[in-house]
Chains A and B, each alone.
Chain A
Amino acid sequence: MSEVEALRHTRSPALDPYKLGHGAGGGRHDYATGHGEGGPASKRVIVGYGFWLFLLSDIVLFSCLFAAHAVLQTATAGGPTGPQLFDPRSVALETACLLTSSFTCGLSAVAAGARNRLWTEVFLFATGVFGLSFLLLEAHDFAGMVARGASPQTSAFWSSFFAVVGCHGCHVTAGLLWLGTMMAQVFFKGFRPSIMRRLVCFNLFWHMLDIIWVALFTIVYLIGEGR
């Protein structure tokens, strides 16, 4: 057998289900799920993939708000501008909260993978605490801006600001409610396959919120500050 032939036989269909690598499988049965003779993909893969598609559509929604905000950067209508009211220290603190919560959320996924109920709950709770601190800081920021004369009605700039940052805040709020539900479900139901699937989806959602926040503090706060 030539070396190429040997390589082809060691390449597992699971690692290369679409045969993007070399060799067409050489007439072997394709027993990877989701294609060929492998039967339908497992529910877990379908759920995770479907949720990934939803998250991408959510990112597209946010991109529209970002586009509106970028276009309306200078439309302050004589009212206060962003850099006058932004507090970079508060934004940095919010960023730290959200990034740390993303990290503890990942650790909860590791704990759930190891089927350790106590540490899963501990890390989910830490995620919730950091997420809640983020929300409170943001609410405090918003209250300060409104008090200093920048409400959504002030100008197109502030309308778009509150739309994009508020939409992210709403997502975090929804995520926190979901987090509480997941903690209760892990506590009472344990690591059933259905709960594991929900945990994967929740993890994806929470990490996606952090990705949106990276774009948000860059476009809205940091680039806005530079103008």
Chain B
Amino acid sequence: MTDEQHVDDEGNLGDVAPGFMDAADHSIREGIQGYLMGFVLAALLTVASFLMLHTNLIWSPGIAVALVVLAIAQIGVHLVFFLHLTTAPDNTNNVLALAFGILIVVLIIGGSIWIMNHLDERMMPMDQMTQTDR
């Protein structure tokens, strides 16, 4: 058995689930370093997001897009450093579940905004609608 293999508390080897922090896998120092790095990166991205409100560096209609990009980056940081999600083959199940979750989330949020905006544009303005009622 090589020291690279994942061995859990019960002495089994195989897949890992998200959030695993094993003393067998990581020294305390490595563990703290990982969380510290995640914390610093997440804090930087958060500060960048909040500074967006006051910046003139970005063309103002593009700020929403920049905010979404920063948020996605920060969620990625959280997934990697806090939830210990990796692209390693022993994480396949976890990543596939996440991919399915992202698909549903994108369909719900993107689909709702898309459809409702179109309905909004095609709807008669409120004042005209009340006139036709009479």
Contacts and interface: CB of A to CB of B under 8 A. Distances in A.
A70 B67 CA distance: 15
Contacts of B34: 106
Nearest to B28: A114
Interface string A91-108: 010011001101100110
Contacts of B23: 113-115
Given A12-B2, A53-B97, A60-B104, A218 B20 contact: no
Interface string A22-33: 000000000111
Interface residues of B, number: 69
Contacts of A59: 101, 105
Nearest to B18: A52
B89 A214 contact: no
Given A67-B108, A99-B43, A211-B78, A34 B101 contact: no
B53 A21 contact: no
Contacts of A167: none
Interface in B20-58: 20-23, 26, 28, 31-32, 34-36, 38-39, 42-43, 46, 49-50, 52-53
Interface stretch (A39-47, A124-132, A182-190): A39-47
A17 B38 contact: no
A110 B9 CA distance: 15
B4 interface: yes
A102 B113 CA distance: 31
A17 B14 contact: yes
Given A114-B23, A226-B63, A226-B64, A63 B109 contact: yes
Give the interface size bracket for A toward B. 35 or more
B50 A70 contact: no
5 contacts: A15-B4, A64-B108, A71-B112, A99-B43, A219-B71
Which 6 pairs across A and B sit closest by C-beta, in order of nearness? A48-B17, A33-B14, A67-B112, A56-B101, A110-B31, A106-B35
Interface of A: 10, 12, 14-18, 20-21, 31-35, 38, 41-49, 51-53, 56-57, 59-60, 63-64, 66-68, 70-71, 88, 92, 95-96, 99-100, 102-103, 106-107, 109-110, 112-115, 193, 196, 200-201, 203-204, 207-208, 210-211, 214-215, 217-219, 222-223, 225-226
Interface of B: 1-2, 4-10, 12-23, 26, 28, 31-32, 34-36, 38-39, 42-43, 46, 49-50, 52-53, 60, 63-64, 67-68, 70-71, 74-75, 78-79, 81-83, 88-90, 92-94, 97-98, 100-101, 104-105, 108-109, 111-113, 116
Given A113-B28, A204-B19, A204-B83, 17 more contacts: A14-B14, A15-B4, A15-B5, A38-B12, A45-B14, A49-B15, A51-B17, A52-B19, A59-B101, A71-B112, A109-B19, A110-B21, A113-B21, A113-B31, A114-B23, A207-B82, A210-B78
